[in-house]
Every structure is written in structure tokens, then in C-alpha cells.
Amino acid sequence: MISWQDAVDMEKIPEQALDNPLYNDLREQILALPDVDAITSYDAVTVEIDLPGKADPFIITGMTREQFGQQIPENRIAAGTADYDALVEGNGILISDSSDRILSGYDYTPQIGDVLHLKTYGGQDMDLNAMGIVKEGSRDATGVLASLFILPEETLYKLYPGVENFQMVWNVHAAQDSDVLRKFMAMAVLGPAGQLVRLRTPELHLQPAPVPS
């Protein structure tokens, strides 16, 4: 797994997001390595959510329409809807049911119809409507656990209209392990502006890429 994390200094998030090191040239370098089949990417942003107990920063995952269909089937919807178009049109957000224990310290229990105020760092603040509660998922074929908050990809561009690349996590799918792959994944790779891409080799997923349906 290759993970690009936002700056600890929240004021630097907009500046660094514009120079996200998970770029196409790096993707092509990894795909050219022996036995690498594919890379699955996930978008995310950092925002501050105003909850009853206090406001805190959270990383929110953005999913494409295809990822919604693959990872949030009907049997994972505990309440409300996970319809992609409805969420886009209604400024909707999905919340995992695992948030009950995580958000208890904020005196908040998610309910359908709640309005969450999201404050961005140099972007566009928004009020989002809780339109769906999803069951906490097990680790899927890509190795990504269900996120606490999930948005349609289009909403990320509303929150940060000046950012084009929201990729924060790449899962590298390989048919088998190799010394070349291990050495590459153990390196600290720098992006074009010198940012660090954090590599977590124990979470490298050595498996064939998912077969498109």
C-alpha cells in the first residue's frame, strides 16, 4: 500500500494537495515492475466536522460510481440510501455504523437526516446531509476497510474546487512477491515538490487484480 497523507500543519493542506505525489508517472513506474498487475486508487480529503461534542479533523473517502457499486451493495445499507446520483444531487454523505463507538466521545449518534457542517482548509465549506448508514465492511479485495465517512467523488471537487488529484491511497496488486518489488516498495518516494509518499510494505497486497465484471 502506498499512502499519501496530508500535512500535519492543516494550513498547508491546499498547497500540498495541488502537488499530490501520486501522479501518473509514478503509477507507470510501479506498473512496469515485474509481476505488478494493477493499482487500485482511493480518493480522500481532510476536513473538520462540527460535531456536538467538538469539531475535529477527519479524513473522508471519496468513491467513484463504480466503487460505490462494488463496495456498497444493497446488503451493506443499514438505513437510508447509497444511491450515487441521489447523494450527488442532495449533497449527501454516508456514515459507517462503526461510528457509533468511535463518535460516542463526541456525544453524537448518526441519524438519517442529520446535517453535518464540514469546514475545509482553504476550500469551500459545506453542509452535507446524512442520507445513508452503511454496515461496517470486512476487508475487501483491495484491502481497504470501510471508511467512517464516504462521499461521491463529485462532492470532493465541491469541497476543494482548486484540486484536481484527490488520490490518497494506492493498493498495488501483484501476482507474486519479488525482490525488485520489495526494494521499490521499501523506498521513500518523493513527489515533484519533494513531499514524502509513505510506504507501508506489510500491507502490500500480493494478489491478482480484480477481474472486471
Q: Quick check: 26 pLDDT over 70?
A: yes
Q: Cβ(173)–Cβ(3) under 8 Å?
A: no
80 assigned to some structural domain: yes
In a domain, 9, yes or no: yes
Q: Is residue 76 part of a domain?
A: yes
Which pLDDT band holds residue 119 (cuts at 50, 70, 90)?
Answer: very high
Domain range enclosing 150: 2-203
Write out the three cell numbers for 205. Answer: 497486497
In a domain, 33, yes or no: yes
Please determine, for residue 129, whether its predicted confidence score (pLDDT) is greater than 90.
yes
Inside any domain, residue 208: no
Q: How confident is the model at residue 111 (pLDDT cuts 50, 70, 90)?
A: very high
In a domain, 211, yes or no: no
Whether 161 has a pLDDT exceeding 60, the answer reads yes
Q: Do 97 and 78 meet the contact criterion of CB atoms below 8 Å apart?
A: yes
Helix or strand or coil: residue 61? strand
- 3-state secondary structure (DSSP) of residue 88: helix
- pLDDT of 180: 67
Q: pTM (2 decimals)? A: 0.71
What are the phi and psi torsion angles at 42 (to 5°)?
A: -130, 135
Residue 91 zone, left/alpha/beta (φ > 0; ψ -120 to 50; rest): left
CA angle 109, 134, 98 (to 5 degrees): 50
Task: For 27-60, write each residue's pLDDT tens digit.
Answer: 787 788 777 888 877 788 888 999 888 888 888 8
Tell whether the model's pLDDT for residue 10 goes beyond 80. Answer: no
The stretch 74-90 carries a mean pLDDT of 94
Highest mean pLDDT among 17-21, 50-54, 60-64, 134-138: 60-64
DSSP string, 18-37: TT-S--HHHHHHHHTSTTEE
Residue 135 located in a structural domain: yes
Which position has the higher pLDDT, 158 or 137?
158
What is the per-residue pLDDT across 167-184, written as a single tens digit (0 to 9) for each?
Answer: 777 777 877 777 766 666
- Residue 99's pLDDT is 61
Looking at the predicted structure, is the pLDDT value of residue 8 above 60?
Answer: no
Judge whether residue 17 has pLDDT over 70: no
Could you tell me if residue 187 is inside a domain? yes
Count of domains forming the chain:
1
